Structure 1
């Protein structure tokens, strides 16, 4: 018995050693396998469950960007740096339970009456978003889209509005309490009088008189090419090739590439491309899948918000004091394009890092109607104007290499293109109309 016991002890020790040694070998293999880490890096967000992913999307990127209230029947754009109204609205939605949603009107006059009804506090998204993005369940087989939330005096009912179709949805809700949001809106410090004007397929915010807008300054940061190569392509089996037009292309294989500008070019626009057959996605799926690519880039998302959808392209912009920032000449921070054959992510590696205390600089912009008339006089058809907004363009501050100024500027979307008002005034609209007609065929 004694020798048998010793023999079993030896077998147990040998078995333990083998298991321990095998675990070390497997650990070394995993830790040194770049393809494994690359896949983790590229798919870690996808593996999360639907509820946590949906919550992350709401709180990070899909927030309203403007709020509107009324005083003596006059609509005002509301903003308060200390009480973030859109963020407060999203917090209030966290515990809401959605009981029923139904269409109550698609009449343009009724829609415009609601836009100008003092009973409602409005919060708007830059473009239509999916109802199912927020409801945690499919309320209908079809996924309604909306741009505006109308906060009624009751906490039991919420109204949603689609600018394009002038459709109003009535949503029955439970566990909602918008009282604090209403209180913050009533005490909002920055109020600018506005009116809502129908453009090509949306209602835009018009300022009836010249307005002063603050100029902000930020210290910036740029991530290295290797940072994005590592995140998007991994660190093994990546090749690079230079061409003569100021670009370097990094390739993981024939299907996955990253194009970056040469350092001396002074540009910041990068393009990630992956060729892969895609399934047919719903609008809700496109919104969610697009976010995964934004997370994959590893950019700071503190002020990054959903900005626009044009055909099959979704874009995200930094929002400073409630206004979007164009990082390039007329491009936002990130744009994703998902087609049946490719996934494309165009982005800027320039990031806004540290705000400089406001020094009192302002710019006066003319009334919105004045800008529209200038564009019409320059040859832009009013029926082609899709959006008009006040946004920031980046201007280099020569007092410091990493310092930029954010200059308030009118930006207009027409023919599915964003450009500043000054750029549109110099546009040859005859050539643009011909090109647009050719692309539409």
Structure 2
């Protein structure tokens, strides 16, 4: 009997030690994980900028997502989970004051020279944003747009680049100090060699070598339909009717509706529609109005970033370790559409909640030139390719109902549609081209 007590005490002590060690390991992982610090920064920024919509938009959803530097004249994509350059850039801009904007050049040769100038550290947005949103004030009467920020050795000015028009602007700065940002960039560990290639809409990042990309896993959660009904339609005078087999539509009145999928369909895409007359909007107004709709949904915005825009549509995606996540086959997390008559918000109610420690899984992706050539051989014209990126597709993990894996693959935008390379290979491109030609 005494021996049993000793064994029991030993097992209890051993169990206590294991739990203690495990808690230290998990605490270390969380505290050193880029997502943790990203969330702290965003939570604080939302609190600090509740009375400053432009400041909130830039410091929360509208921040750069990629950074580039040079080594021996070769451009590299820079990434470090512990020293997130785009977030550091956003932090350093909080106290900056802007004055004056001047067009430096607008020809393609000068723009490409700037792209490949090793003097500058580049930070890019996934797509264009307005200068006035970036500066948090009406700096220009015309709604000028840009995609790239070029940081030089000087703290007195910043250069902004518009990929579409190949225009470079210079903005004068006061109270700026990018020394820490430059130090991080000089000592960063994660580097992938790239080149900048002109596509239909922009200059895209082409990876020049075969690269191994990590597979990440996340536990997910999703809100109930009633949660979104309450937030978007209110709690009174809401009726519902089954419009189709796999859909239910909740209506506040004829003008305001929310369509949700049935549980049996295993879909997670919802659509909010409101019919109302809108005033003519500038690009800046459209982006700010889109932000209000994103906040209204009540989805987690911890890793949410501006992703894409075209015409009346603005899209937002979760960014994990510097790369966007496509929900479903090829949908971003949220898409807002603002027309003169209608407000539409298409969104996915699946939230990436808790990151699982990296287990060593990777996927090997070929150089971008090879991927593009495969699509050209399949009938997609190079002139129709708008964007080329590496992003995550979501794949369910069979070991747990709420566990998903984020698989890195190439995604391509053409004809204003985002699809994975495998999807494009299965697409009747000739038929799609004829449909687009008729529009």
TM-score after normalising by structure 1:
0.88
Q: Secondary structure at the match of 1:54?
A: helix
C-alpha offsets along residues 304-329 of structure 1, whole Å, 9 cap, x if unaligned? 00000022100000000000000111
Q: Secondary structure at the match of 2:395?
A: strand
Give the alignment of 1:140-155 within 5 angstroms. 140-155=140-155
Give the alignment of 1:238-387 within 5 angstroms. 238-387=238-387
Deviation, structure 1 residue 294: 0.3
Deviation, structure 1 residue 434: 1.1
Contact 2:50 2:56 in 1 (8 A): no
CA–CA distance in structure 2, aligned partners of residues 222 and 420 of structure 1: 25
Give the alignment of 1:123-162 within 5 angstroms. 123-162=123-162
Provide the residue aligned with 2:117 in structure 1: 117
Provide the residue aligned with 1:24 in structure 2: none
CA–CA distance in structure 2, aligned partners of residues 299 and 198 of structure 1: 35
Contact 2:215 2:408 in 1 (8 A): yes
C-alpha offsets along residues 7-56 of structure 1, whole Å, 9 cap, x if unaligned? xxxxxxxxxxxxxxxxxxxxxxxxxxxxxxxxxxxxxxxxx999611111
Cα root mean square deviation, aligned: 1.2
Give the alignment of 1:218-229 within 5 angstroms. 218-229=218-229
CA–CA distance in structure 2, aligned partners of residues 97 and 50 of structure 1: 20
Residues 399 and 49 of structure 1: CA distance in aligned 2, closer, same or farther (over 3 Å): closer
Provide the residue aligned with 1:11 in structure 2: none
Deviation, structure 1 residue 286: 0.4
Provide the residue aligned with 2:39 in structure 1: none
CA–CA distance in structure 2, aligned partners of residues 369 and 202 of structure 1: 16
CA–CA distance in structure 2, aligned partners of residues 256 and 201 of structure 1: 35
CA–CA distance in structure 2, aligned partners of residues 97 and 430 of structure 1: 51
Aligned pair 1:59/2:59, yes or no?
A: yes
Q: Secondary structure at the match of 2:294?
A: helix
Contact 1:336 1:346 in 2 (8 A): yes
Q: Secondary structure at the match of 2:82?
A: coil
Contact 1:158 1:171 in 2 (8 A): yes
Aligned pair 1:417/2:417, yes or no?
A: yes
Contact 1:51 1:136 in 2 (8 A): no
Deviation, structure 1 residue 144: 1.1
Provide the residue aligned with 1:83 in structure 2: 83
Q: Secondary structure at the match of 1:235?
A: coil
Q: Secondary structure at the match of 2:58?
A: helix
CA–CA distance in structure 2, aligned partners of residues 50 and 349 of structure 1: 24
CA–CA distance in structure 1, aligned partners of residues 51 and 383 of structure 2: 41
Provide the residue aligned with 2:185 in structure 1: 185
C-alpha offsets along residues 229-263 of structure 1, whole Å, 9 cap, x if unaligned? 00000111100101333000000000000000001
Residues 412 and 434 of structure 1: CA distance in aligned 2, closer, same or farther (over 3 Å): same
Unmatched segments (≥5 aa) in structure 1: 1-47
Task: Please say which structure displays the higher CA radius of gyration.
Answer: 1
Provide the residue aligned with 1:431 in structure 2: 431
Give the alignment of 1:25-36 within 5 angstroms. none
CA–CA distance in structure 2, aligned partners of residues 162 and 266 of structure 1: 41
Task: Tell me the number of residue pairs that the alignment of Structure 1 and Structure 2 aligns.
Answer: 392
Provide the residue aligned with 1:393 in structure 2: 393
CA–CA distance in structure 2, aligned partners of residues 245 and 438 of structure 1: 32
CA–CA distance in structure 1, aligned partners of residues 382 and 97 of structure 2: 42
Provide the residue aligned with 1:101 in structure 2: 101
Residues 139 and 244 of structure 1: CA distance in aligned 2, closer, same or farther (over 3 Å): closer
CA–CA distance in structure 2, aligned partners of residues 72 and 142 of structure 1: 39
CA–CA distance in structure 2, aligned partners of residues 162 and 168 of structure 1: 6
Deviation, structure 1 residue 136: 3.0
CA–CA distance in structure 1, aligned partners of residues 66 and 87 of structure 2: 11
CA–CA distance in structure 1, aligned partners of residues 238 and 87 of structure 2: 41
Contact 2:120 2:152 in 1 (8 A): yes
Provide the residue aligned with 2:11 in structure 1: none
Q: Secondary structure at the match of 2:232?
A: helix
CA–CA distance in structure 2, aligned partners of residues 64 and 244 of structure 1: 41
